[in-house]
Structure 1
Amino acid sequence: MSAGFKCKQFFVGHDQCAMKVGTDGLLLGAWASLPTYVSLNGCAVTKDSAAYLDIGSGSGLISLMLAQRAPQATIRAIELDSDAARQAEHNFRQSSFASRLQLLKGDILTYQPAERYALIVSNPPFFDNALLGSNGKRNQARHTASLPLPLLLAKAAELLAPGGSLALVLPEPAAEAFSQLAGAQGWFAMASCQVFSRADKAPLRRLMQWQRVPCQPRQQQLLIHNDDGSYSEQYRHLLRDFYLKF
């Protein structure tokens, strides 16, 4: 078996991906709220029959998690890097959800599908105005030059069905700037969750979900580790359907 990450219902190979399976993707895949319904062509579509889109899918981890959580939903995953796209496609084919997963190799900014999505998820590149390293694939995966956040917001607005939402994860400093940008582009926060590695540390990440109509946002906090280094009960509960050790 190639290097990767084993979940309860699927395996994620990631040896060909610049960015490996990590906490950010696991958190987003488990935390993002699935749509109760959206309107497509005037008809209500439930979460189990809707289409979801994973932007910058990498190994395909988040798409696989969504496929497990919504047993009839169709998930499209778009990935720019050829090696990561091939690996995600392989991961999809090896899963029990293969018939509902589709890998699209290409640039989200030029993607023009006929359908609209009930949920868009993204673990986007987040380093801005930072020195680039020598690994071009890792730079593409980590730096906003490959997908500027203003363009991600504009594209998501174009691709969402009425009532749909955008969920993503960012480092805390970047999340604050993103929130201001999203508000300026006509987005409204549905939910926000600050992620702490330990109770005595500053927030590490922020999980966010946005939509295009006004709403009352849910404010949450998530602690990953207890003081003794063990996983918190909150973290275990969130990922219990995926982590083998839980």
Structure 2
Amino acid sequence: MVGAQEAASRDDVRAGIVAAAARVLRENGADAVTTRAVAQAAGVQAPTIYRLFGDKDGLIDAVAEHVMAAYVSGKSASAHEATGDPVADLRSGWRTHIGFGLANPELYALMTTRGRGRPSPATLAGIEVLRARVRRLAAAGLLRVDEQRALMMIHAAGNGTILALLGTPDDERDPGLADAMFDAVLSGIVADAPAAPDTATNAVTVTFATVLPDLPGLSDAERALMAEWLRRSLTHPPHPGG
């Protein structure tokens, strides 16, 4: 019982420090997140932070995980409330992502520019939510590029849009930039956008590639060969005139 109480107390102290650090980060910026400032805001001694987080970087990682995990949890919940229109759901997710970045500029910049060995679990979870949305586009026959290409195009464009807006003074920001960027990316990946004459052909090819693993009556070698043909078709543009 005593051990459980100590663990609960430790968790409470840790949560309080993370919340205090998040508040300092939000109100004063990344440079203000020092162990001394956070300890004062959390009402603890600085050695407590080192004992629980190792160092300042460990504390910042914990703050990033805390805020990003809450955000991803919200995104995951909204993903289960799909409208039935995969394009509309993708647009909704895009706007949520842009909104989060603009609402948390210091944290977002820290998460995207800081040297990390690999993306945080919260970031990876967010990518998986996006992957599910892209898969819905593919299953509906709407993609004219492969799923991974579509995923990375959306991911890169979203990050770039947020960083561009954060790098622009508030009174000089283009309020329509985020939607314009989404439409530009959409025109490059979605089949019904009037971007290229080969849209319908590519859409059929991508959709067929999605169901290829489930086709009956084919050997593994035949599936592999067909997958290679489909990949080659998608990566080689048609000759002018047919």
Bigger Rg, structure 1 or 2: 2
Please report the TM-score for the alignment, with normalisation by the length of structure 1: 0.23
TM-score, scaled to structure 2: 0.23
Q: Which has the higher helix share?
A: 2
Structure (1/2) with the larger strand percentage: 1
